[in-house]
Amino acid sequence: MTMPFQWPVDYVPAIVAPESGPQDAWWFVFRGNELLVSSAPPVALPRPPDLSVLGFGLGRTLYLGALAGAGCFCGEAEAQTEPPEGWAWQNLRGLFGVLDEALFALAGRALQLLAWDRTHQFCGACGTPTQPRTAERSRECPACGLLAYPRLAPAVMCLARRGSREILLARSPHFAQGMYSALAGFVEPGETLEQCVEREVREEVGIRVRDLRYFGSQPWPFPHSLMIAFFAEHAGGEIAIDRTEIEDARWFDFSELPRLPAKISLARKLIDAARGEMPAAR
């Protein structure tokens, strides 16, 4: 199962750019969460022979590695930067299914690495400016030696089932109008993934689950999550929502499902699999 944002099979990660430089390379240029793409179809990324043709400077740049032999770089523009003629800033999520799949995946990696680099310019222990290392993707404090690696926040997702036709879906106050999804929450120190599933379900909707079965995982670069999804069976209890993170939760029959998350998400693949659209759910 291929997930949005996972590494393309022909991608080779690297930290140090080749001596030949960025000629004919892909550039992932961001302004916040917006990626610079062509304004006319087909949607494409810039491959400038020289960055000066963009008409603006970049605050930071990183080398990502090579995709099918072509170098990949990413850079960050200032918040008020206007796009050059023929180009536009587009929210990365909105480019799913529009931008080439491999480039879309690397755009997610680029966004995450830029955010990490921006937020780790200084040592969290002593405040000294950090320096990038070339042996691995990290930043090091020259004063105390503290290493900062790109952050990953693991989060579990659980789709609980009751019988053969019902699944438990909930909605957060932050969701789009009428949308429901599987339950999810971040893993705490000292927890296994399975313990986190059981705790999150109990805390958010008050029920117990059993027979956890791993479904899949997905990098989620908004800004640095790794989603890990499970199926589970209802083991007991009635729905009692916490009213803090959840505003509603219900058992839904497959014939009467509400508005669901977008197809870009692991949650949607999990729900679709439970409906029998994927072999893993049959």
Residue 282 has pLDDT above 60, yes or no: no
What CATH topology corresponds to 11-119?
A: Nucleoside Triphosphate Pyrophosphohydrolase (3.90.79)
Tens digit of each residue's pLDDT (9 = 90 or more) over 243-273? 888 999 999 999 999 999 999 999 999 999 9
- Mean pLDDT across 31-56: 90
135 versus 22: the higher-pLDDT residue is 135
Kind plus residue range of the DSSP H or E element containing 198: helix 193-205
Using CA atoms, how far apart are residues 144 and 157, in angstroms rounded to an integer?
38
Contacts of 12 (CB under 8 A, 6+ apart): 65, 66
CATH class for domain 153-281?
A: alpha beta
First CA to last CA across the chain, in angstroms?
A: 15
What does the pLDDT read at residue 245?
Answer: 87
Over 60: is that where the pLDDT of 241 sits?
Answer: yes
Give the C-alpha separation, 272 to 260, whole Å: 10
The phi and psi torsions of 214 (rounded to 5 degrees) equal -65, 135
- Which residues make up the CATH 3.90.79.10 domain(s) of the chain? 153-281
φ and ψ at residue 37, rounded to 5 degrees:
-135, 165
Nearest to 197 by CA among 149, 220, 229: 229
Q: For residue 206, what pLDDT is reported?
A: 96
Which of the four pLDDT bands, split at 50, 70 and 90, describes residue 21? low
> What per-residue confidence (pLDDT) applies to 244?
85
**Lookup: tokens for 232:** 């589970």
Q: CA angle at residue 110 from 114 to 15, to 5 degrees?
A: 85
| pTM (2 d.p.) | 0.90
| β-pairing verdict for 183-186 and 153-162 | antiparallel
Strands 34-38, 87-91: pairing is antiparallel
- The 10s digit of each residue's pLDDT in 136-189 is 999 999 999 999 999 999 999 999 999 989 999 999 999 999 999 999 999 999
Give me the pLDDT at residue 151, please: 93
Show the tokens assigned to 15.
Answer: 């930290």
> CA-CA distance, 3 to 276, in Å (whole number)?
18
Residue 277: pLDDT over 60:
no
Q: Is the alpha carbon torsion for 112, 115, 117, 122 positive or negative? A: negative
Residues forming a β-bridge with 62: 74
Q: CA 53, CA 63: separation in Å to the nearest integer?
A: 19
**In percent, how much of the chain has pLDDT > 90?**
88
Looking at the predicted structure, is the pLDDT value of residue 281 above 60? no
Instruction: Compute the CA torsion angle 173, 177, 183, 186 (nearest 10 deg).
Output: -50
Percent of the chain at pLDDT > 70 equals: 97
Q: Where does 75-175 have alpha helices with state H?
A: 101-119
pLDDT at 22: 65
Could you tell me how many helices (H) and strands (E) the chain has, helices first? 3, 15
Of 153, 77, 155, nearest to 111 by C-alpha is: 77
Task: State the span(s) of the chain assigned CATH 3.90.79.20.
Answer: 11-119
Distance separating alpha carbons of residues 84 and 53, to the nearest angstrom: 9
